[in-house]
Amino acid sequence: MIKRLLVVLAALVLPVATAAPAFAYEPVNIVHTERVQAGPYGLTVGFSTWPLRAMQSLDFTFIPDGGITGKSGTLVRTGPAGGHSRAVPLARHPRKRDVWGLDVSSLSTEGTWKFTFALDGPQGHGEGTVPLTVLSQPGPPLALSWIVCSLPFLGLIAFLVVAWRRVRPSMLVHVT
């Protein structure tokens, strides 16, 4: 009876004790900020990586002066070619709950991007835009990366073709 109780206790405690590291998360480290004036509201835009590069994941934080309590807003991203994203509501950053933000987001092409903010709060409505220069993608060109990563798959296909030709299932004699 005591053995069973210890086994049940261990089965309950072990998952909780080993899950603690999984509940930990890396805080958002802001390494660069830009200021935007959106009508009566000052807004600090924070970046977890600087300088910005195309296709590089990073966190964005949007911190209005006085905090986010009692305020709401939207964000529109405009790319270098002039294409707009739809206006998305500013939501709390998942790992920094006291500010708005985007978690693990990237900008797809190099050039000058614009983030346009529309904020509503006790002082009324305000809009502001911050231009962001995005540099070229880090690392090798995308086509070269795809070629290199497809080499093991092509080797597997070659191996299977050679193995298939050596065995030739159609030439095996079936004894009944």
Residues 59-83: tens digit of each pLDDT:
999 999 999 999 999 999 999 998 8
Residue 118: predicted pLDDT: 97
Residues 117-158: tens digit of each pLDDT:
999 999 999 999 999 999 998 888 888 989 999 999 999 999
Residue 170: predicted pLDDT: 67
Residue 175: predicted pLDDT: 63
Residue 44: predicted pLDDT: 97
Residues 33-50: tens digit of each pLDDT:
999 999 999 999 999 999
Enumerate domains of the chain plus CATH numbers.
Answer: 32-134 (2.60.40.1930)
Instruction: From residue 121, give the alpha-carbon distance in Å to each of 34, 45, 112, 124, 125.
Output: 21, 18, 29, 5, 7
